[in-house]
Amino acid sequence: MTRARIIDGKAIAAKIRNHIALKTATLAQKHGITPGLAVILVGENMASQTYVRNKARATTAVGMESFGHLLPEETTQENLIALVHKLNADARVHGILVQLPLPGHMNEAAVLAEVTPEKDVDGFHFANVGKLVLGLPCLPPCTPSGILALLKETLGNLDGLRALVIGRSNIVGKPLSIMLTNENCTVTLAHSKTRNIAAECARADIIVSAVGKPEFLRGEWIKPGATVIDVGINHVLVPEDAGGDGEKKKLVGDVCFNEALDVAKAITPVPGGVGPMTIAMLLENTLKAACMQAGISLPEEDPQP
């Protein structure tokens, strides 16, 4: 039996970031515009701190400006919204991202609704979600965009394929189900109340899992030749090597990777699959937002001599 192709999200994302860097340079040279991305982090969630740091690094690496805003955990929702309004009005800022989750005393939907849709590079504002559903031009959400790019890179045309999306979050599952529908897939959106997940997997040409349950999706559920995208990022403790009685931390996805390798046609690893694509798509949205706000089309890649 042939083993699945491992989809190298890290390499594909690096290629996309290179293209973005070239276009960013052209935008600066031809139009004097440097795209700016503002990221707001509230509190000290460790995972969020890492994500925000990585986003800032990637932003400056492609030649964009990065504006970091750190607010204390006990900040009021009014304070946070006042900062969002300030950034909405700041001409140097073309994209605004409010890192989620927000502290429990805040209403996430109410905060996200205050980001002006033209700067909503996360694609979370209801105006962008509505446009996505209607198939109109919009700023699409980053992780689903990254998944779609990986699927197109792997499969080409997605017309008529059966896609199973597991997990109905507002960030990944729900918008991805719409985007795959717009790509002419026949889509099933499964979730925690789905009765027989194995049966749903058995008929899917594409499986995307975004539920955050370590290695719950078994190889024997997968249809031979299917393409599997694993969005899960799960930290688990495993025994130390060489028979010691200690434990070490390991990152695993939602899919039993080794089992899936023997059945699937292609599969994303964790880490190094979907994760790097999310940041690449965030940069793409920031570039797109800067161009939209200036009323110009996306630049060519080659800066003029």
List binders of ligand GUN among 33-62 (CB under 6 A): none
Active site residue 29: no
Q: Give the x/- contact pattern for ligand GUN in 153-172, rule: CB under 6 A.
A: ------------------x-
**Positions in 232-261 near ligand GUN (CB under 6 A):** none
Asked whether the CA dihedral 293, 58, 25, 32 is positive or negative, the reply is positive
Q: Is 231 in the site for ligand GUN (CB under 6 A)?
A: no
The whole-angstrom separation of Cα 9 and Cα 230 is 11
Least gap, CB of 157 to ligand GUN (angstroms): 27
Give the separation between CA 244 and CA 225, rounded to whole angstroms: 38
Establish if 142 lies at the interface with ligand GUN (CB under 6 A): yes
Catalytic residue, chosen from 119, 120, 122, 205, is 122
| In contact, 283 and 62? CB cutoff 8 Å | yes
- Alpha carbons within 13 angstroms on the beta-carbon side of residue 42 total 24
Residue of 55, 174, 223, 265 marked catalytic: 55
Toward ligand GUN, which CB reaches closer, 140 or 269? 140
Kindly tell me which residue out of 143, 145, 154, 209 binds ligand GUN, with binding defined by CB under 6 A.
143
CB 97 within 8 A of CB 142: no
Q: How many CB atoms lie within 10 A of CB 157?
A: 9
The two structure tokens encoding residue 161: 């394929």
* Between 122 and 254, CB nearer to ligand GUN: 122
* Catalytic residue list contains 159: no
Position 290 contacts ligand GUN (CB under 6 A): no
Q: Least distance in Å: CB of 39 to ligand GUN?
A: 8
Q: Is 99 a catalytic residue?
A: yes
Beta strand pairing status for 65-71 and 5-6? unpaired
Size of interface with ligand GUN, in residues (CB under 6 A): 9
Query: Segment 86-125, which members bind ligand GUN (CB under 6 A)?
Result: 97-100, 122
CA 37, CA 244: separation in Å to the nearest integer? Answer: 47
Q: Which residues pair with 63 in a beta bridge?
A: none
Catalytic residue among 23, 99, 119, 254: 99
Round to whole Å and give the CA distance between 192 and 204: 18
Residues found near ligand GUN in the complex (CB under 6 A): 97-100, 122, 142-143, 171, 278
Catalytic residues: 55, 99, 122
